[in-house]
Structure 1
Amino acid sequence: MISLLLADDHTLLREGLKRLLHQTSDILVEGEAGNGQEVLALLARRHWNVLVLDMSMPGRDGIDLIRQIKTEYPGVPILVLTMHGEQQYATRAIKAGASGYLTKDGAAEELVQAVRKVAMGGRFLSQALAESIAFDGRGDGGDSPHLLLSDREFTVFQLLAEGQNNAEIARRLFISVKTVSTYKTRLFLKMHMRNQADLVRYAISHHLLNDPGPLDSHPAQPNTGN
């Protein structure tokens, strides 16, 4: 039996996924989490065969959470289930340590297949994403400078594109305003941009803006550390 930990902040979605997975004869959802802290707490209690993880939950940045989980619990395969279907999200998740990546608009059969495959130590990408990563000429970052950004720079990039200022980004990411300014300078240099307007236009044209999520309703606590 595959023991599965399901992490998503939408209760109704978790209920639907549980009903779907429990229709199989070999997958059992034995734990649920609504944010990154709950995920880490449940991982500390026992072993899980698979973690199905939404990258857009309240609190931690999804890539940072994946990286921490793989450092502290390297034996737990992570299957990302998210609304983000763009190549850059999948690439970053896989590089951070995820074993699979699926979008929430995929077929139910695909989710079951993915869970089984990563539980056995394999890797899984939807066919559309696999083809995009394999054949997209931008894969080397030559035509898409945002692919040259580090994960933290990319997160700052998205928040700037959404119109947030340095202080707001610092509160959201639990870093200092000075650190945000450093990231901002780096990403402007890497992407050859002059100002935030250039950044917004680029983000829109490349479909890099995050949809508003529940994180906006959870105020972050300021932290002056780097």
Structure 2
Amino acid sequence: MKRILIADDHAVVRSGLRAIVETQSNWIVAGEATNGEQAVGLAVETMSDIVIVDYSMPLMNGLEVSRRLKALDLRTEVLILTMHEDEELLSEAVLAGVRGFLFKSDAKKHLISAIEALLDGRPYFTSALVEKLLHDYQLNKHGRSDMLLTSREQSVVQLIAEGHTNRSMSVILKLSVKTVETHRASAMRKLGMSSTAELVRYAIRKKLVVP
């Protein structure tokens, strides 16, 4: 029996995903998480084979969930669900160890195929998604900044936008306060920003948080 963990902060989305997963007799929903930190804890506790996680999760986004699970050396694959068409997001997902990526609007049609692929050790990205992102990349590559934020810096920016202090971020990310401050300063320098308000606006614009 394969264990599937569902992580999304909206109950109606979790319910819809559960209904799809439970159509397969050899799959079981091992648990449901409402934020990224809970998703990591439940994945470890239930020894989930697959974690389906919304990119825009509180406390820890889908990419940070994937990176944390990889750091724990678990044999758990992550399937990111997103509403956002952003080529930077896909690039960051691959760097974070994500091997499955799906638009929420495609979940009803492609979710089972995506999970089957990940269980077989194959990556899963719908052709329409890849074509869209490649097209966007070609259009935007000349205007893209070479100074993209790292996944860790993005996590710090997200938590800042959610109202966390440096100390609470250090607990969530399991980093020292000094390291958090370093990532914060690095993100602000790369983005050319000098205030928390600017970081919050950036986080909203990049869909790291929902206003």
TM range (shorter): 0.7 to 0.9
Mapped contact 1:146–1:154 kept (Cα < 8 A): no
Partner residue in 1 for 2:101: 101
Please report the RMSD computed on the Cα atoms of aligned residues, expressed in angstroms.
3.6
- Residues 1:77 and 2:73 are matched in the alignment: no
Query: Secondary structure of 1:88's match?
Result: helix
Match of 2:138 in 1: 137
How much does 1:180 deviate? Answer: 6.8
Report whether the alignment pairs 1:125 with 2:121: no
Contact 1:8 1:35 in 2 (8 A): yes
Partner in structure 2 of residue 224 of structure 1: none
Corresponding position of 1:50: 50
CA distance in 1, matches of 2:178, 2:39: 30
TM-score, length basis structure 1: 0.69
Quick one: percent identity of the two aligned structures? Answer: 28
Label 1:190 to 1:142 Cα distance change in 2 as closer, same or farther (>3 A): farther
What amino acid maps onto 2:58 in structure 1? P
The partner residue of 1:208 within 182, 186, 206 is 206
Q: 1:4 to 1:159 in 2, by over 3 A?
A: closer
Shift of 1:26: 4.0
Deviation at 1:171, TM superposition (A): 6.3
Alignment of 1:209-224 (within 5 A): 209-212=207-210
The answer to whether the 8 A contact 2:56-2:209 is kept is no
Q: Deviations over 1:186-209 (max 9, x none)?
A: 445545x4766xx78x959xx524
Bigger CA radius of gyration = 1
Structure 1 gaps, min length 5: 214-226
State the TM-score, normalizing by the size of structure 2.
0.73
User: How many Å apart are 1:154 and its aligned residue?
Assistant: 3.7
Which blocks of at least 5 consecutive residues in structure 2 are unaligned?
none
SS at match of 2:14: helix
Alignment-derived partner of residue 169 in structure 2: 173
